[in-house]
């Protein structure tokens, strides 16, 4: 968009952000996780989306995860736990059946199985698509050379 | 902390319709990819629609072929007793 190709920039933005938000919609905030198991490898691709991916990851790590006292590691909560502040940090506290009946639980419901995979894939595809957009903006592609030679305006649908 | 669906925070409960999620994914990939690949933006929407039809059509053909192989061809070639 900065280079004056507004139509292309808008399309690329809708594609990249649409895929990223679709991933979040499918798998919840758990789809972006830079510290958990194999999810961190997916985050390498998701990070290519830009600051929004790091922002979502920050919120996920600091506002949705808590420490598991048995391992000393942060993790996503189970359905029978709630996130409580013990004076120094957030930890997971086991809930009783009565508390669960009152609607208490973890702050988010993580995606499981296929849905989690599809959600992470969607966010990662957004990052990979963004790399394609970077490369298109940085490298002169053949169609732009042809368009220049022919004197064709190749953006904004004005041709 | 009330258990209920919050968009973008909780996962969607569409475990039985997971295969339909390819449709919005292909739409967004098409919109983004064709934005940087079409030589002339006048053809943009036509190219995006063609991309979506090609990918979804290809996936539907693959699904039909694999369904045929698994449910018809393999049982014919290697019948299992009791199945």
Same domain, A2 and A58: yes
**High-pLDDT (> 70) share of chain B, %:** 95
Domain borders along chain B are 15-76
Domain of residue A148 covers 1-63+114-159
- Mark yes or no for CB contact B30/A15 under 8 Å: yes
Check whether A154 has a pLDDT greater than 60.
Answer: no
Q: Least CA distance to B25: which residue of chain A?
A: A19
- A5/B41 Cα distance (integer angstroms): 10
Residue range A33-50: average pLDDT? 93
pLDDT of residue B9: 93
Same domain membership, residue A11 and residue A26: yes
Asked if residue B36 lies in contact with residue A5, where contact means CB atoms within 8 angstroms, the answer is: no
Query: Residues 24..43 of A with a Cβ closer than 8 Å to B: which?
Result: 24-30
**What ipTM goes with this model?**
0.86
Quick one: pLDDT at residue B83? 66
Residues A123 and A51 in one domain: yes
Two structure tokens written together for B30 = 């098409």
**Same domain assignment for residues A84 and A124:** no
Output the pTM of the full model: 0.85
Model pLDDT, residue B2: 45
Report the number of distinct structural domains present in chain A.
2
CA distance A107 to B7: 12
Are A102 and A26 part of one and the same domain? Answer: no
The verdict on A120 and A71 lying in the same domain is: no
For B26-46, b where at least 16 C-beta lie within 10 A, e where not — what string?
A: bbbbbbbbbbbebbbbbebee
- For residues B48-75, give the mean pLDDT: 96
- Residues A58 and A120 reside in one and the same domain: yes
CB of A33 closer than 8 Å to CB of A123? no
Residues A57 and A73 in one domain: no
**Same structural domain for residues A49 and A118?**
yes
pLDDT at A1: 64
| pLDDT, tens only, A91-149 | 999 999 999 998 898 999 888 889 999 999 999 999 999 999 999 888 866 666 666 66
Residue A19 has its nearest CB partner, among B29, B35, B37, at B29
Gap between the Cα atoms of A72 and A67, Å rounded: 6
CA B6 to CA B33: how far, in whole Å? 30
Strand, helix or coil at A39? helix
Q: How far apart are CA B38 and CA A146, in angstroms?
A: 12
pLDDT of residue B1: 46
pLDDT at residue B23 tops 80: yes
Cα A41 to Cα B80: distance, rounded to the nearest angstrom: 40
Mean pLDDT calculated for residue range B21-42: 94
Residues in Cβ contact with A10 at an 8 Å cutoff, skipping those fewer than 6 apart: A1, B35
Nearest to A127 by CA among A55, A42, A37, A38: A42
Q: Assess whether pLDDT exceeds 60 at residue A157.
A: no
Give yes or no: residues A28 and A70 share one domain: no
Mean per-residue pLDDT, B20-48: 94
Q: pLDDT confidence of A150, banded at 50, 70, 90?
A: low
Section A27-56 average pLDDT: 94
pLDDT at A155: 54
């Amino acid at each position: 968009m900065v280079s004056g190709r507004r139509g292309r920039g808008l399309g690329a933005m809708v594609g990249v952000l649409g895929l990223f938000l679709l991933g979040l919609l499918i798998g919840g905030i758990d789809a972006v996780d830079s510290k958990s198991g194999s999810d961190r490898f997916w985050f390498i691709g998701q990070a290519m989306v830009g600051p929004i991916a790091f922002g979502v990851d920050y919120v996920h790590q600091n506002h949705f995860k808590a420490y598991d006292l048995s391992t000393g590691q942060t993790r996503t909560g189970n359905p029978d736990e709630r996130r409580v502040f013990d004076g120094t940090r957030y930890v997971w506290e086991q809930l009783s059946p009565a508390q669960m009946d009152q609607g208490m639980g973890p702050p988010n419901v993580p995606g499981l199985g296929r849905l989690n995979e599809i959600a992470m894939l969607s966010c990662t595809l957004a990052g990979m698509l963004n790399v394609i957009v970077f490369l298109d903006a940085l490298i002169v592609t053949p169609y732009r050379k042809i368009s220049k030679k022919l004197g064709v305006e190749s953006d904004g649908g004005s041709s | 902390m009330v258990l209920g669906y919050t968009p973008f925070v909780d996962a969607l409960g569409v475990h039985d319709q997971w295969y339909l999620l390819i449709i919005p994914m292909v739409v967004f990939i098409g919109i983004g990819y064709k934005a940087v690949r079409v030589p002339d933006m006048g053809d943009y929407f036509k190219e995006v629609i063609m991309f979506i039809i090609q990918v979804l059509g290809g996936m539907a053909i693959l699904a039909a072929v694999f369904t045929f192989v698994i449910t018809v061809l393999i049982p014919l070639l290697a019948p299992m007793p009791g199945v």
